Structure 1
Protein backbone atom coordinates (compact mmCIF):
# COMPACT_ATOMS: atom_id res chain seq x y z
CA UNK A 1 0.00 0.00 0.00
CA UNK A 2 2.87 2.39 0.82
CA UNK A 3 4.43 1.68 -2.57
CA UNK A 4 1.18 2.46 -4.42
CA UNK A 5 0.76 5.72 -2.50
CA UNK A 6 4.34 6.76 -3.25
CA UNK A 7 3.87 6.04 -6.96
CA UNK A 8 0.73 8.23 -7.03
CA UNK A 9 2.59 11.19 -5.51
CA UNK A 10 5.46 10.70 -7.94
CA UNK A 11 3.08 10.64 -10.92
CA UNK A 12 1.38 13.77 -9.66
CA UNK A 13 4.69 15.66 -9.48
CA UNK A 14 5.57 14.56 -13.03
CA UNK A 15 2.17 15.49 -14.52
CA UNK A 16 2.24 18.94 -12.90
CA UNK A 17 5.11 19.95 -15.23
CA UNK A 18 3.45 18.71 -18.43
CA UNK A 19 1.20 20.98 -20.54
CA UNK A 20 -2.48 20.27 -20.19
CA UNK A 21 -2.94 19.55 -23.90
CA UNK A 22 -0.67 16.47 -23.64
CA UNK A 23 -2.54 15.11 -20.64
CA UNK A 24 -6.10 15.80 -21.78
CA UNK A 25 -6.44 16.23 -25.58
CA UNK A 26 -9.44 18.34 -26.48
CA UNK A 27 -12.30 16.78 -28.41
CA UNK A 28 -15.60 18.24 -29.67
CA UNK A 29 -17.40 15.28 -28.09
CA UNK A 30 -15.77 15.67 -24.69
CA UNK A 31 -18.37 16.21 -21.97
CA UNK A 32 -16.00 17.13 -19.14
CA UNK A 33 -12.33 18.05 -19.29
CA UNK A 34 -10.15 18.68 -16.26
CA UNK A 35 -7.08 20.87 -16.08
CA UNK A 36 -4.18 21.02 -13.66
CA UNK A 37 -3.62 24.29 -11.83
CA UNK A 38 -1.20 24.54 -8.88
CA UNK A 39 -1.27 20.78 -8.56
CA UNK A 40 -5.09 20.62 -8.17
CA UNK A 41 -7.58 19.11 -10.57
CA UNK A 42 -10.32 21.63 -11.49
CA UNK A 43 -13.29 21.18 -13.83
CA UNK A 44 -12.46 23.46 -16.77
CA UNK A 45 -15.94 23.60 -18.33
CA UNK A 46 -17.70 24.18 -15.02
CA UNK A 47 -15.26 26.94 -14.16
CA UNK A 48 -15.83 28.73 -17.46
CA UNK A 49 -19.58 28.59 -17.00
CA UNK A 50 -19.35 30.21 -13.57
CA UNK A 51 -16.89 32.78 -14.98
CA UNK A 52 -14.96 32.84 -11.73
CA UNK A 53 -11.61 34.54 -11.61
CA UNK A 54 -9.09 32.78 -9.34
CA UNK A 55 -6.26 34.90 -7.93
CA UNK A 56 -2.76 33.67 -7.15
CA UNK A 57 -3.69 32.78 -3.57
CA UNK A 58 -6.57 30.59 -4.71
CA UNK A 59 -9.39 32.96 -3.68
CA UNK A 60 -12.30 33.74 -5.97
CA UNK A 61 -12.39 37.32 -7.25
CA UNK A 62 -15.97 38.58 -7.66
CA UNK A 63 -14.99 42.19 -8.39
CA UNK A 64 -16.11 41.82 -12.01
CA UNK A 65 -19.36 40.13 -11.18
CA UNK A 66 -22.18 41.19 -13.51
CA UNK A 67 -25.02 42.96 -11.73
CA UNK A 68 -28.47 42.23 -13.17
CA UNK A 69 -30.78 45.13 -13.91
CA UNK A 70 -34.05 45.50 -12.11
CA UNK A 71 -36.87 43.61 -13.77
CA UNK A 72 -40.38 45.00 -13.96
CA UNK A 73 -42.54 43.53 -11.23
CA UNK A 74 -46.30 43.18 -11.32
CA UNK A 75 -48.33 46.09 -10.06
CA UNK A 76 -50.16 45.60 -6.76
CA UNK A 77 -53.02 47.81 -7.92
CA UNK A 78 -55.13 46.67 -10.85
CA UNK A 79 -55.02 49.10 -13.77
CA UNK A 80 -58.15 49.59 -15.88
CA UNK A 81 -58.21 50.81 -19.47
CA UNK A 82 -60.33 53.99 -19.85
CA UNK A 83 -61.58 52.86 -23.29
CA UNK A 84 -62.66 49.27 -22.58
CA UNK A 85 -62.94 46.67 -19.80
CA UNK A 86 -59.31 45.53 -20.06
CA UNK A 87 -57.55 45.15 -16.68
CA UNK A 88 -53.99 44.18 -15.86
CA UNK A 89 -51.35 44.31 -13.13
CA UNK A 90 -48.52 44.93 -15.62
CA UNK A 91 -47.59 48.38 -16.89
CA UNK A 92 -45.97 46.89 -19.99
CA UNK A 93 -49.15 44.95 -20.80
CA UNK A 94 -51.18 48.13 -20.32
CA UNK A 95 -48.96 50.07 -22.76
CA UNK A 96 -49.07 47.21 -25.30
CA UNK A 97 -52.86 47.08 -25.00
CA UNK A 98 -53.16 50.80 -25.80
CA UNK A 99 -50.92 50.45 -28.82
CA UNK A 100 -52.42 47.26 -30.29
CA UNK A 101 -56.09 47.61 -29.34
CA UNK A 102 -56.66 51.36 -29.47
CA UNK A 103 -53.78 52.46 -31.75
CA UNK A 104 -52.53 55.00 -29.26
CA UNK A 105 -49.87 55.60 -26.62
CA UNK A 106 -50.03 56.96 -23.05
CA UNK A 107 -48.89 60.47 -24.12
CA UNK A 108 -51.41 60.59 -27.00
CA UNK A 109 -54.21 59.30 -24.78
CA UNK A 110 -53.33 61.73 -21.98
CA UNK A 111 -52.56 58.86 -19.61
CA UNK A 112 -49.78 58.80 -17.03
CA UNK A 113 -48.67 56.33 -14.35
CA UNK A 114 -48.45 57.70 -10.81
CA UNK A 115 -46.18 55.69 -8.52
CA UNK A 116 -46.67 55.53 -4.75
CA UNK A 117 -43.29 57.21 -4.37
CA UNK A 118 -44.73 60.30 -6.08
CA UNK A 119 -43.07 59.93 -9.47
CA UNK A 120 -45.33 60.36 -12.49
CA UNK A 121 -44.46 59.36 -16.05
CA UNK A 122 -45.98 58.09 -19.29
CA UNK A 123 -43.76 55.00 -19.60
CA UNK A 124 -42.81 51.92 -17.62
CA UNK A 125 -39.13 52.87 -17.24
CA UNK A 126 -39.58 54.12 -13.66
CA UNK A 127 -40.59 50.61 -12.61
CA UNK A 128 -37.07 49.38 -13.36
CA UNK A 129 -35.51 51.77 -10.85
CA UNK A 130 -38.06 52.13 -8.04
CA UNK A 131 -38.32 49.55 -5.25
CA UNK A 132 -42.01 50.37 -4.71
CA UNK A 133 -43.15 50.45 -8.34
CA UNK A 134 -46.87 50.43 -7.59
CA UNK A 135 -48.69 52.57 -10.15
CA UNK A 136 -52.12 54.13 -10.53
CA UNK A 137 -53.48 55.11 -13.95
CA UNK A 138 -54.19 58.85 -14.17
CA UNK A 139 -56.06 60.33 -17.14
CA UNK A 140 -54.95 63.93 -17.53
CA UNK A 141 -57.00 64.79 -20.60
CA UNK A 142 -60.77 64.37 -20.99
CA UNK A 143 -62.37 63.64 -24.34
CA UNK A 144 -61.61 61.45 -27.35
CA UNK A 145 -58.12 60.03 -27.28
CA UNK A 146 -55.69 60.81 -30.05
CA UNK A 147 -54.52 57.84 -32.06
CA UNK A 148 -51.38 56.93 -33.95
CA UNK A 149 -51.55 58.06 -37.57
CA UNK A 150 -51.37 55.11 -39.90
CA UNK A 151 -48.87 55.65 -42.66
CA UNK A 152 -50.37 54.83 -46.03
CA UNK A 153 -47.85 53.96 -48.69
CA UNK A 154 -48.62 55.45 -52.09
CA UNK A 155 -46.03 54.06 -54.53
CA UNK A 156 -45.37 56.36 -57.46
CA UNK A 157 -45.04 54.84 -60.90
CA UNK A 158 -42.06 55.85 -63.01
CA UNK A 159 -43.00 58.41 -65.68
CA UNK A 160 -40.89 56.57 -68.26
CA UNK A 161 -41.91 52.93 -67.63
CA UNK A 162 -44.16 50.68 -65.54
CA UNK A 163 -41.74 50.22 -62.61
CA UNK A 164 -42.98 51.51 -59.23
CA UNK A 165 -40.10 52.50 -56.89
CA UNK A 166 -41.04 52.56 -53.20
CA UNK A 167 -38.61 55.25 -51.99
CA UNK A 168 -37.27 58.56 -53.25
CA UNK A 169 -33.72 57.22 -53.37
CA UNK A 170 -34.97 54.16 -55.25
CA UNK A 171 -36.79 56.35 -57.76
CA UNK A 172 -33.67 58.43 -58.44
CA UNK A 173 -31.49 55.31 -58.74
CA UNK A 174 -34.01 53.76 -61.14
CA UNK A 175 -33.82 56.82 -63.41
CA UNK A 176 -30.02 56.68 -63.45
CA UNK A 177 -29.60 52.94 -64.04
CA UNK A 178 -32.49 52.12 -66.36
CA UNK A 179 -33.11 55.38 -68.19
CA UNK A 180 -29.66 57.01 -67.99
CA UNK A 181 -31.15 60.27 -66.75
CA UNK A 182 -31.63 62.34 -63.60
CA UNK A 183 -34.32 64.49 -62.04
CA UNK A 184 -32.76 67.62 -63.50
CA UNK A 185 -32.35 66.18 -67.00
CA UNK A 186 -35.84 64.71 -67.05
CA UNK A 187 -37.37 67.95 -65.80
CA UNK A 188 -39.25 66.42 -62.86
CA UNK A 189 -39.07 66.69 -59.08
CA UNK A 190 -40.26 64.51 -56.20
CA UNK A 191 -42.21 65.80 -53.21
CA UNK A 192 -41.90 64.27 -49.74
CA UNK A 193 -45.03 63.74 -47.63
CA UNK A 194 -43.78 66.52 -45.35
CA UNK A 195 -43.81 68.96 -48.29
CA UNK A 196 -40.08 69.11 -49.06
CA UNK A 197 -39.25 69.03 -52.78
CA UNK A 198 -36.36 67.04 -54.26
CA UNK A 199 -34.88 68.48 -57.45
CA UNK A 200 -31.61 66.54 -57.23
CA UNK A 201 -30.08 63.59 -55.44
CA UNK A 202 -27.82 65.77 -53.29
CA UNK A 203 -30.58 66.74 -50.85
CA UNK A 204 -31.97 63.22 -50.31
CA UNK A 205 -29.41 62.01 -47.76
CA UNK A 206 -29.58 65.13 -45.60
CA UNK A 207 -33.38 65.23 -45.65
CA UNK A 208 -33.62 61.56 -44.59
CA UNK A 209 -31.65 62.43 -41.45
CA UNK A 210 -34.17 65.11 -40.47
CA UNK A 211 -37.45 63.54 -41.65
CA UNK A 212 -38.82 60.06 -40.91
CA UNK A 213 -41.46 60.21 -43.65
CA UNK A 214 -40.81 58.05 -46.71
CA UNK A 215 -43.99 58.62 -48.76
CA UNK A 216 -43.61 60.84 -51.81
CA UNK A 217 -45.36 62.05 -54.94
Structure 2
Protein backbone atom coordinates (compact mmCIF):
# COMPACT_ATOMS: atom_id res chain seq x y z
CA UNK A 1 0.00 0.00 0.00
CA UNK A 2 1.06 3.60 -0.64
CA UNK A 3 -0.42 7.06 -0.55
CA UNK A 4 -3.02 7.50 -3.29
CA UNK A 5 -4.09 10.93 -4.46
CA UNK A 6 -7.79 11.84 -4.33
CA UNK A 7 -8.59 15.09 -6.18
CA UNK A 8 -12.20 14.97 -4.95
CA UNK A 9 -11.25 15.03 -1.27
CA UNK A 10 -8.55 17.63 -1.96
CA UNK A 11 -11.16 19.93 -3.51
CA UNK A 12 -13.60 19.47 -0.63
CA UNK A 13 -10.94 20.15 2.00
CA UNK A 14 -9.70 23.19 0.08
CA UNK A 15 -13.15 24.73 -0.42
CA UNK A 16 -14.26 24.16 3.17
CA UNK A 17 -11.04 25.71 4.46
CA UNK A 18 -11.52 28.72 2.19
CA UNK A 19 -14.93 29.19 3.79
CA UNK A 20 -13.48 28.91 7.29
CA UNK A 21 -10.73 31.38 6.41
CA UNK A 22 -13.39 34.08 6.12
CA UNK A 23 -13.57 33.88 9.91
CA UNK A 24 -9.83 34.53 10.23
CA UNK A 25 -9.90 37.27 7.57
CA UNK A 26 -6.89 35.70 5.89
CA UNK A 27 -6.06 32.84 3.57
CA UNK A 28 -3.15 31.09 1.89
CA UNK A 29 -1.21 28.42 3.74
CA UNK A 30 -4.18 26.80 5.48
CA UNK A 31 -6.06 26.05 2.25
CA UNK A 32 -3.03 24.60 0.51
CA UNK A 33 -2.07 22.35 3.43
CA UNK A 34 -5.68 21.24 3.90
CA UNK A 35 -5.90 20.32 0.22
CA UNK A 36 -2.71 18.27 0.45
CA UNK A 37 -3.78 16.44 3.62
CA UNK A 38 -7.20 15.75 2.14
CA UNK A 39 -5.89 14.83 -1.29
CA UNK A 40 -3.45 12.29 0.11
CA UNK A 41 -6.31 10.89 2.21
CA UNK A 42 -4.19 11.23 5.35
CA UNK A 43 -5.28 9.02 8.22
CA UNK A 44 -2.78 10.19 10.84
CA UNK A 45 -2.28 13.95 10.79
CA UNK A 46 0.18 15.44 13.27
CA UNK A 47 1.17 19.07 13.83
CA UNK A 48 3.12 21.15 16.34
CA UNK A 49 1.97 24.38 17.98
CA UNK A 50 3.12 26.68 20.76
CA UNK A 51 1.67 29.64 22.64
CA UNK A 52 1.35 32.75 20.52
CA UNK A 53 0.89 30.95 17.22
CA UNK A 54 -2.12 31.20 14.91
CA UNK A 55 -4.50 28.28 14.32
CA UNK A 56 -5.39 28.81 10.67
CA UNK A 57 -3.33 25.81 9.58
CA UNK A 58 -4.78 23.77 12.45
CA UNK A 59 -8.29 24.60 11.27
CA UNK A 60 -7.41 23.46 7.76
CA UNK A 61 -5.97 20.19 9.06
CA UNK A 62 -9.06 19.60 11.21
CA UNK A 63 -11.26 20.08 8.15
CA UNK A 64 -9.09 17.72 6.10
CA UNK A 65 -9.26 15.09 8.85
CA UNK A 66 -13.04 15.31 8.85
CA UNK A 67 -13.07 14.46 5.14
CA UNK A 68 -10.55 11.61 5.37
CA UNK A 69 -11.98 10.23 8.64
CA UNK A 70 -8.43 10.55 9.94
CA UNK A 71 -6.94 11.17 13.36
CA UNK A 72 -5.65 14.70 13.99
CA UNK A 73 -3.14 15.28 16.79
CA UNK A 74 -1.42 18.47 17.93
CA UNK A 75 1.81 18.42 19.96
CA UNK A 76 2.31 21.37 22.33
CA UNK A 77 5.18 22.02 24.77
CA UNK A 78 3.23 22.86 27.94
CA UNK A 79 -0.19 23.20 29.57
CA UNK A 80 -0.28 26.94 28.87
CA UNK A 81 0.00 26.25 25.14
CA UNK A 82 -2.62 23.51 25.36
CA UNK A 83 -5.20 25.79 26.97
CA UNK A 84 -4.46 28.61 24.51
CA UNK A 85 -4.68 26.23 21.55
CA UNK A 86 -8.00 24.72 22.59
CA UNK A 87 -9.48 28.17 23.21
CA UNK A 88 -8.26 29.51 19.86
CA UNK A 89 -9.76 26.54 18.01
CA UNK A 90 -13.04 26.94 19.92
CA UNK A 91 -13.16 30.66 19.13
CA UNK A 92 -12.63 29.80 15.47
CA UNK A 93 -15.59 27.43 15.55
CA UNK A 94 -13.45 24.39 14.80
CA UNK A 95 -13.35 21.21 16.84
CA UNK A 96 -10.01 20.88 18.62
CA UNK A 97 -8.03 17.72 17.81
CA UNK A 98 -6.26 15.52 20.33
CA UNK A 99 -3.63 17.56 22.14
CA UNK A 100 -0.46 15.96 23.54
CA UNK A 101 1.68 17.90 25.99
CA UNK A 102 5.36 17.10 26.32
CA UNK A 103 8.85 17.12 24.89
CA UNK A 104 8.90 16.90 21.11
CA UNK A 105 10.79 13.62 20.87
CA UNK A 106 8.71 11.89 23.55
CA UNK A 107 5.39 13.00 22.09
CA UNK A 108 6.33 12.19 18.49
CA UNK A 109 7.55 8.73 19.47
CA UNK A 110 4.11 7.79 20.81
CA UNK A 111 2.36 8.38 17.50
CA UNK A 112 2.36 5.57 14.96
CA UNK A 113 1.82 5.48 11.19
CA UNK A 114 2.05 9.23 10.65
CA UNK A 115 1.26 10.06 7.03
CA UNK A 116 0.93 13.85 7.21
CA UNK A 117 3.11 15.95 9.49
CA UNK A 118 3.36 19.73 9.83
CA UNK A 119 6.06 21.32 11.97
CA UNK A 120 6.61 25.00 12.74
CA UNK A 121 10.20 26.08 12.13
CA UNK A 122 9.83 28.83 14.71
CA UNK A 123 10.00 26.05 17.31
CA UNK A 124 13.59 25.06 17.98
CA UNK A 125 12.61 21.42 18.46
CA UNK A 126 10.98 20.96 15.05
CA UNK A 127 13.89 18.77 13.94
CA UNK A 128 13.33 16.39 16.84
CA UNK A 129 9.70 15.92 15.83
CA UNK A 130 10.81 14.95 12.32
CA UNK A 131 13.52 12.69 13.68
CA UNK A 132 11.33 10.76 16.12
CA UNK A 133 8.09 10.66 14.11
CA UNK A 134 7.11 7.12 13.14
CA UNK A 135 6.25 7.47 9.48
CA UNK A 136 3.60 5.29 7.87
CA UNK A 137 4.82 2.41 5.71
CA UNK A 138 2.58 3.66 2.92
CA UNK A 139 4.51 6.92 2.79
CA UNK A 140 3.96 10.42 4.08
CA UNK A 141 4.00 14.13 3.34
CA UNK A 142 6.12 16.26 5.67
CA UNK A 143 5.70 20.03 5.81
CA UNK A 144 7.90 22.65 7.41
CA UNK A 145 6.08 25.98 7.69
CA UNK A 146 7.45 29.46 8.42
CA UNK A 147 10.59 28.67 6.46
CA UNK A 148 12.94 31.42 5.37
CA UNK A 149 13.97 30.73 1.78
CA UNK A 150 17.61 31.37 2.66
CA UNK A 151 17.55 28.47 5.11
CA UNK A 152 16.19 25.95 2.60
CA UNK A 153 19.54 25.25 0.94
CA UNK A 154 21.16 24.64 4.32
CA UNK A 155 18.55 22.15 5.48
CA UNK A 156 18.86 18.48 4.56
CA UNK A 157 15.82 16.25 4.99
CA UNK A 158 18.03 13.17 5.18
CA UNK A 159 19.82 14.78 8.09
CA UNK A 160 16.74 14.65 10.35
CA UNK A 161 14.92 11.54 9.11
CA UNK A 162 15.55 7.91 9.97
CA UNK A 163 18.27 6.25 7.92
CA UNK A 164 16.77 4.49 4.92
CA UNK A 165 13.83 6.89 4.59
CA UNK A 166 13.11 7.51 0.89
CA UNK A 167 12.64 11.17 0.11
CA UNK A 168 10.91 11.01 -3.27
CA UNK A 169 10.80 14.74 -3.91
CA UNK A 170 10.98 18.07 -2.12
CA UNK A 171 9.67 21.50 -3.02
CA UNK A 172 9.83 24.99 -1.53
CA UNK A 173 6.79 27.22 -1.99
CA UNK A 174 6.88 30.96 -1.21
CA UNK A 175 3.37 30.77 0.25
CA UNK A 176 2.72 32.64 3.48
CA UNK A 177 6.03 32.75 5.34
CA UNK A 178 7.40 29.82 3.34
CA UNK A 179 6.64 26.10 3.04
CA UNK A 180 9.24 23.35 2.61
CA UNK A 181 7.54 20.07 1.63
CA UNK A 182 8.90 16.53 1.34
CA UNK A 183 7.13 13.48 -0.10
CA UNK A 184 8.28 10.28 1.60
CA UNK A 185 7.93 7.08 -0.43
CA UNK A 186 6.29 3.89 0.81
CA UNK A 187 8.52 1.30 2.44
CA UNK A 188 9.98 -1.22 0.02
CA UNK A 189 8.60 0.50 -3.08
CA UNK A 190 10.25 2.08 -6.06
CA UNK A 191 10.19 5.86 -6.17
CA UNK A 192 9.31 6.07 -9.84
CA UNK A 193 6.48 3.52 -9.82
CA UNK A 194 3.01 5.08 -9.83
CA UNK A 195 -0.36 4.48 -11.40
CA UNK A 196 -1.97 7.08 -13.58
CA UNK A 197 -0.77 10.55 -14.55
CA UNK A 198 0.53 13.17 -12.14
CA UNK A 199 -2.02 15.59 -10.73
CA UNK A 200 -1.46 19.12 -9.57
CA UNK A 201 -2.95 21.40 -6.93
CA UNK A 202 -3.42 24.94 -8.25
CA UNK A 203 -3.10 27.59 -5.56
CA UNK A 204 -3.25 31.37 -5.86
CA UNK A 205 -1.80 33.50 -3.08
CA UNK A 206 -4.47 36.03 -2.18
CA UNK A 207 -1.96 38.70 -1.16
CA UNK A 208 0.55 38.55 -4.00
CA UNK A 209 -1.67 37.12 -6.71
CA UNK A 210 1.01 34.57 -7.53
CA UNK A 211 -0.09 31.18 -8.81
CA UNK A 212 1.58 28.06 -7.40
CA UNK A 213 1.32 24.48 -8.61
CA UNK A 214 2.22 21.46 -6.50
CA UNK A 215 2.34 17.97 -7.95
CA UNK A 216 0.50 15.14 -6.28
TM-score by length of 1: 0.18
Which structure carries more relative contact order (alpha carbon 8 Å, separation 6+)?
2
- Which protein has the larger Cα radius of gyration, Structure 1 or Structure 2? 1
